[in-house]
Amino acid sequence: MKNASFRRSLTLALLVSCLGVPAMAHAAERYADRPEAQQFIAEMQQRHGFDKDALTYIFRRAQYLPSVIKAISPPKDPGVRSWQRYRGRFIEPVRIKAGVAFWERYQDTIKAASDKYGVPEEIIVGIIGVETIYGRNTGNYQAVSALSTLAFDYPRRAELFRSELENLLLMAREQHRDPLDYQGSYAGALGLPQFLPSSVRNYAVDFDGDGQIDLLNSPKDAIGSVARYMQMHGWESGAPIALRASVTPGADLTALIANDVDPTFEPATLTSRGIKAANGEMPPNKAAFVELVTPGEDSEYWLGYQNFYVITRYNRSSFYAMSVFQLGEAVKAARQTALANRR
């Protein structure tokens, strides 16, 4: 419930104690009994003034989720990544149709967010579409349990998820909600845009003006928050995002590809290496040289500009950024066609 608070958790903890309810089975497996969780509770008490008993109750309820570890762990045999296979997951009829409907329903909000933050409407639509198919798949993991599992049982990224667990508890206090109520992805990402708790606290906005931020139940908040996230990470209004590149046969691309998504190459440098924009119009902006690999097929080559790089702040992957870009373009084209057919 939106108005529940940490005080409710404390009251429940004291009630359980007073009634003498039998301890749950496998008590040793409860996070509240783990030394590392007890240390975390002490730190939250010292740094942020949380009530120890309320937090202990929360971590008695948090569960170890083996499916979270399975989902986040790298595959044992990763194979070769395929851009065409990856692209096919996102630029497909169901998602495009859902994107047109979403854009139609929230067109005023999307335009307002685009105008305020300088981010194209299709990029806002593209991100929400890639992340959750416009709210259809926001995750069904209890966020406290997912983040506890990763913070205390996934050493390779424990520091990151310990920080996100801290931010989840802080966010719950700020939003006057029970932290046990949040549901999200296996990594603790929340709502239509799949913000981690730290991103909710740092970038999310109350775009529907109801006095609270709700990225799950308010698409308007999600739309405004995505646009603000992009702006805060350096989006350049009116600047290019990505252009397909034309490559001179025999050009040595090794050093350019190794640079990944950072837009560091001047147009003159790219031209001297045999690279230009396929449409013949080379913007003056610095760019990254991006290779999208598909096994058994020729790679696609693109010029990725500052705004392409900003999309990778959401997910540091050229495949991800290009999927957002192309889904947004596909939804935009489909919407324009639908509007034209109504005339």
pLDDT, tens only, 78-133: 777 999 999 999 999 999 999 999 999 999 999 999 999 999 999 999 999 999 99
From residue 14, give the alpha-carbon distance in Å to each of 54, 57, 160: 9, 9, 32
User: Average pLDDT for residues 143-172, to the nearest whole number?
Assistant: 98
pLDDT tens for residues 260-294?
A: 899 999 999 999 999 999 999 999 999 999 999 99
Helices (H), the chain: 6-19, 35-48, 52-61, 66-72, 83-90, 93-105, 107-117, 121-132, 143-153, 158-175, 197-203, 219-232, 254-258, 267-272, 306-311, 318-342
pLDDT of residue 226: 98
Q: What is the pLDDT of residue 22?
A: 34
Which residues touch 172 (CB under 8 Å, ≥6 apart)?
6, 178, 179, 181, 182
Q: How far apart are CA 293 and CA 282, in angstroms?
A: 23
Mean pLDDT for the stretch of residues 54-58: 97
Claim: this prediction has a pTM higher than 0.85: yes
pLDDT tens digits for 130-149?
999 999 999 999 999 999 99
The band of 259, judged by pLDDT with boundaries at 50, 70 and 90, is confident
Q: What is the pLDDT of residue 340?
A: 92
- The pLDDT value recorded for residue 80 is 78
Catalytic residue among 122, 131, 166, 329: 131
Q: Does position 157 have pLDDT exceeding 60, yes or no?
A: yes
The per-residue pLDDT for 7 is 53
Of 168, 195, 139, 196, which is closest to residue 55 (Cα–Cα)? Answer: 168
Give the mean pLDDT of 323-331: 98
Burial class (CB in 10 A: 0-12, 13-18, 19+), 35: exposed
Predicted confidence at residue 28, as pLDDT, reads 46
Across all residues in the chain, what is the average pLDDT? 92
Per-residue pLDDT, 338: 93
Question: pLDDT digits over 5-54, tens only?
Answer: 555 554 444 443 333 333 333 334 799 999 999 999 999 999 999 999 99
Contact 95, 129 (CB under 8 A): yes
Predicted local confidence at residue 9, as pLDDT: 52
Any residues with CB less than 8 A from the CB of 160 and at least 6 apart, and which? none
**174 part of the active site:** no
The pLDDT assigned to 342 comes to 86
Which secondary structure element, helix H or strand E, spans residue 290, and what is its range?
Answer: strand 288-292
> If we measure between CA atoms, which residue out of 124, 83, 324 comes closest to residue 229?
124
When pLDDT is averaged across residues 200-207 and rounded to a whole number, the result is: 98
pLDDT of 3 strictly over 90: no
